[in-house]
Chains A and B, each alone.
Chain A
Amino acid sequence: GNSVTQMEGPVTLSEEAFLTINCTYTATGYPSLFWYVQYPGEGLQLLLKATKADDKGSNKGFEATYRKETTSFHLEKGSVQVSDSAVYFCALSDGDTGRRALTFGSGTRLQVQP
């Protein structure tokens, strides 16, 4: 079955540091890939997505590239801010079967210190 593996957290960074959160996946066929973010006290928000190999999703300074050869979708940001402190979830949907259920990773908590 499908699965998503994320790096363990928490990740603690100083403001303006470079961020990478690793995400790898296992899926049959060609899934769509997503990063969702959950800020404290709020629900999940879609951060970015990519639907085919080599696509780059980007939003709010965050980027992730769909790498089929390494089955990865790592999240990066060049300079984090305190306001980026949140839990980040990598997810996929099975593009081949049409089944729309999202498969999530376990989440990575990011703490950015001033």
Chain B
Amino acid sequence: EAGVTQFPSHSVIEKGQTVTLRCDPISGHDNLYWYRRVMGKEIKFLLHFVKESKQDESGMPNNRFLAERTGGTYSTLKVQPAELEDSGVYFCASSALRTRDTQYFGPGTRLTVL
């Protein structure tokens, strides 16, 4: 069974540009989460989808971040316009409804904003 995949693995952009990160969850997982780790600090929750609906977006830092999950499969996280403080590693995770707590993480996308 394929794990959670993320694309790209690295992205380097300039301040003010737009970047879109993609996450493909484990097949059949209805729950999808986005997290990020900034500057070697703790990993922080951004938002949670159940299928295509946003269940919890309390961690989204501001309106420059837009997450979508059309059709309830893969998800995208767009940052527009990117700022320096957005640099970090963005992780995606997924879980099945029947296994309430266990979240399986992808390898992350390292975003560098210059």
Binding site for B on A (CB under 8 A): 4, 32, 34, 36, 42-46, 49, 51, 89, 91, 93, 99-107
Contact between B101 and A43, CB atoms less than 8 A apart? no
- Within 8 Å CB of B44, what residues of A? 104
Q: Are B48 and A101 closer than 8 Å at their CB atoms?
A: yes
Give the A-B pair count, Cβ closer than 8 A: 61
Interface members, chain B 1-33 (any A CB < 8 Å): 4, 6, 31, 33
A32–B103 CA distance with the chains assembled, in angstroms: 12
Write 18 A-B pairs (CB below 8 A) sorted by A numbering. A4-B42, A32-B101, A44-B93, A44-B105, A45-B105, A46-B104, A89-B43, A100-B31, A101-B56, A102-B35, A102-B43, A102-B45, A102-B93, A104-B43, A104-B44, A106-B40, A106-B42, A107-B42
A43→B6 CA distance, assembly (Å) = 10
Q: Looking at the assembled complex, report how far the CB atom of B68 sits from the nearest CB atom of chain A, in whole angstroms.
A: 19
Q: Given A43-B4, A106-B42, do A101 and B59 touch, yes or no (CB 8 Å)?
A: yes
Given the contacts A43-B106, A44-B91, A46-B104, A99 and B42 also touching, CB distance less than 8 Å: no
Q: Which residues of A contact B42 (CB under 8 A)?
A: 4, 104-107
Q: Is B53 an interface residue (CB 8 A)?
A: no
Complex interface: chain B residues within 8 A of A106 (CB):
40-42
Q: A43, B56: Cβ atoms under 8 Å?
A: no
Q: Name the residue on B nearest A33 (C-beta).
A: B101
Do B108 and A43 touch across chains, with their CB atoms under 8 A apart? yes
Contact A101 B108 (CB under 8 A): no
Please name 9 further chain A to chain B contacts, defined as beta carbons within 8 Å, in addition to the given A105-B42, A107-B42, sorted by A numbering: A43-B106, A43-B108, A51-B101, A89-B43, A99-B56, A101-B58, A104-B35, A104-B43, A107-B43
